[in-house]
Amino acid sequence: MAGNATRERLIAESMRLFGERGYAGTSVADIEAAAGLSSGAGSLYRHFPSKQALLAAGVRQQIDAGQHLLRLLADADDGAAIPLRERLIAVATAGLRRLEQEADLNRIMLKDLAHFPELLDLARREEVARVHQAVAAWLDAQLGARSDGQAGTGRRDTEGIAAVLVGAVSNFWMLRDIFGEHPAGISEERYLASLVDALMPSLPGVEKTLEN
């Protein structure tokens, strides 16, 4: 049991340090000290064969822990009583919260995973691509269940719309993470509302709603 607790501390502290300093800028001794172990005594190697193996375990754990948004999207009903604009803002907000919770993983993806192609591909498939697919499927469900009887009509590119939505939310998180706030001084609420308002006319059936 104590060994599992130590292993979890090593993963948590290594991901935090990799996110802050970068993989190359973090030594095994740094990780051991942060985890409350004897620095430089090789304690890490009792739990992981290498620093790279520790990185791989941390990446996998953060990917597995970030499933809340996917479950939210998969389990959501059509929410017909809630205006589509509000539903879109809620999903965008949930996506931003997920990015904040996975800040260390996101920073590592930006800084270091290009040096670890297998881990980069894992993050692409299991994290980034799955979120895009889940958002596109959610959009299909919302638009296909419209109460105006327009199910299945109209031309839509929900994969493209999902890519724009996810990309814009990710960009907001990245800029705020770098500068402490969005460099244009735009609040989260204002940004997400403007993003959704820009996307709404591209959704089938929404044009009529906007004109009325």
pLDDT higher than threshold 90 for residue 198: yes
pLDDT higher than threshold 80 for residue 108: yes
48-54 long-range contacts (CB < 8 A, ≥24 apart) are 48/7, 48/10, 51/14, 51/23, 51/26, 52/116, 54/10, 54/11, 54/14
Structure confidence by residue, pLDDT tens digits, 60-74: 999 888 777 777 777
Half-sphere exposure of 28 (CA within 13 A, CB side): 16
d(CA 94, CA 15): 22
Q: Report which DSSP code applies to 125.
A: I
d(CA 84, CA 87): 5
pLDDT of residue 150: 42
pLDDT of residue 80: 60
Mean pLDDT, residues 97-123 taken together: 95
Structure confidence by residue, pLDDT tens digits, 147-189: 343 444 445 688 999 999 999 999 999 999 999 999 999 999 9
- pTM of the prediction? 0.85
d(CA 166, CA 92): 8
End-to-end Cα, the chain, rounded Å:
63
